[in-house]
Copies of this chain bind each other. A is one copy, B any other.
Amino acid sequence: MTSPDAAVRTAVAEGSAAFLEQLGDWLRIPSVSADPARAADVRASAEWLAGTLREHGFPVAEVWPTPGNPAVYAEWPSDDPDAPTVLVYGHHDVQPVDPVELWTTPPFEPTRDGDRLRGRGAADDKGQVLMHLLGLHAHLRATGRTSPAVSLKLVVEGEEESGSPHFGALLKERRDRLICDVVVVSDTGMWSATVPSVCTGMRGLTDCQVDFHGPDGDLHSGSFGGAVPNPVAELARVLAGLHDDEGRVTIPGFYDDVLAPSDEERELFARLPFDEGEFLASALSRATTGEAGWSTLERLWVRPTAEVNGFWGGYTGPGHKTIVPSEAHAKVSFRLVAAQDPVRVQALFRDWLSARTPEGIRSSVEFYGSGVRPCLTPLEHPALQGVQRSMSRAFEGPVLYTREGGSGPEADLADVLEAPVVFIGVGVPDDRIHAPDEKVEVPLLLKGAEAVAYLWADYAEKLPRRP
Contacts and interface: CB of A to CB of B under 8 A. Distances in A.
A180 B207 CA distance: 64
Contact of A404 (B222, B230, B296): B222
B221 A359 contact: no
A395 interface: no
Task: Determine which residue in A228, A312, A313 has the highest number of CB atoms from chain B within 10 A of its CB, and name it.
Answer: A228
A285 interface: yes
- How many copies of this kind of chain does the complex include? 2
A193 interface: no
Contact of A321 (B289, B309, B321): B309
Contacts of A359: 286-287, 289
A291 interface: yes
Contact of A215 (B214, B219, B285, B368): B285
A305 B225 contact: yes
A240 B360 CA distance: 17
Contacts of A222: 203, 205, 335, 404-407
A441 to B, nearest CB: 20
A316 interface: yes
Interface string A295-320: 01001100111011111111110011
A273 B316 CA distance: 37
Contacts of A330: 232
Interface in A201-255: 203, 205, 207-209, 214-217, 219-230, 232-233, 235-237, 239-243
Contact of A311 (B236, B241, B323, B405): B236
Contacts of A312: 311-313, 316
Contact of A221 (B284, B307, B325, B326): B307
Contacts of A325: 308-310
B328 A311 contact: yes
Interface string A347-388: 000000000001111100000100000000000000000000
Task: Place the interface of chain A in its size category.
Answer: 35 or more
Given A219-B283, A233-B242, A322-B333, A227 B309 contact: no
Contacts of A146: none
Nearest to A316: B312
B233 A243 contact: yes
Contacts of A289: 227-229, 358-360
Given A215-B285, A229-B287, A241-B240, A333 B307 contact: no
Contacts of A309: 221, 232, 314-315, 320-325
A9 to B, nearest CB: 34
A240 B236 contact: yes
A299 B226 CA distance: 6
A233 to B, nearest CB: 4
A289 B229 CA distance: 6
A105 interface: no
A344 B104 CA distance: 55
B215 A307 contact: no
A132 interface: no
B283 A228 contact: yes
Nearest to A360: B287
Contacts of A106: none
Contact of A331 (B227, B296, B316, B328): B316
B360 A286 contact: yes
A329 interface: yes
A291 B331 CA distance: 29
Given A221-B333, A226-B290, A289-B227, A233 B316 contact: no
Interface of A: 203, 205, 207-209, 214-217, 219-230, 232-233, 235-237, 239-243, 279, 283-291, 296, 299-300, 303-305, 307-316, 319-326, 328-331, 333, 335, 358-362, 368, 404-407
A-B CB proximity, top 3 nearest = A222-B406, A287-B360, A310-B314
5 contacts: A227-B296, A230-B308, A232-B308, A233-B242, A308-B325
